[in-house]
Structure 1
Amino acid sequence: MEIRKKDATLLDVATSTYTDWIGTSVAENSMITGSGDLYELAGLDGEPDRWSILGIDVTAFSHGEEPTWSIRFYAADRVELGVKKFEDWGAVAEKHGGVPVVDILLHEADFDDVIKCMKLVGVQFRNGHFKHQLLHSAYADFPEQEA
């Protein structure tokens, strides 16, 4: 894979022009044989001791049509950065003002491919203009389910 260097800039959080919905997400890796592999999906499986995937960015554009996906993995080159153990990341971040990562755009992947590498993926959106706490106080089903 060709790595094209650029001036380092801080990676921002997910944003949109209008923050109608904002939220959080969580995921757990799958350790089951036969599930997908993030490193293989990103083309990094040939050098397993070299790379650490430290971020995943998923964007979909739809407007009611089939979504057009943009999947980016942010991977750090442990060899180049001199990271031999987990504790080394702090020194790297201090030296560089953050951990330098390579932005890998996946041209032939969609969110299903990422999910197949996971045990669980959770995404929660909340109305971005509503600033009050939500109290979970009832259940409902749509369409109605048989009792």
Structure 2
Amino acid sequence: MRRAGFVVAAATALTLGAAGTGRAETTATSEVTASWGDRVRLQYTWTDRQTITGGTLTVTDATCDDRTVYATLTVTTGAGRTVPLGDRHNTGGCGTTAEYRDITASDPSGVVRLTLRLCHPAPGGATATCETRYIGANPYRPQALPF
């Protein structure tokens, strides 16, 4: 399966929905490392076919190479659109971690999958090097598989 090649370590847990609704939610956690050594941790909750909530992303500069590191998140909607959720940068330098607690997405046509790319600029301001390190399929949309 292609997905296994993208995920260095991932765990999925089933949790009970808030406010006693009895609705099941699925929380996904992924910790990945780029080939050049920087790291990212992503945790978020699939609440239903249309929504991702409660997302936290941490971006760690582990290479100490005087280059920033950033994560790019996108979702693919049920209508086939790719929607950027934005870049989250760590500009703190060697050994630092930047944390973002603003990862959410919703679309009336549904959210099929969430994709995470880890990037860092090339020396001299050239085009950034990026790797797709995680693709998470919505468990409420089984037609999202295979990739």
TM-score (normalizing by structure 2): 0.26
| Structure with bigger RCO (C-alpha 8 Å, 6+ apart) | 1
Structure with the bigger percentage of helix: 1
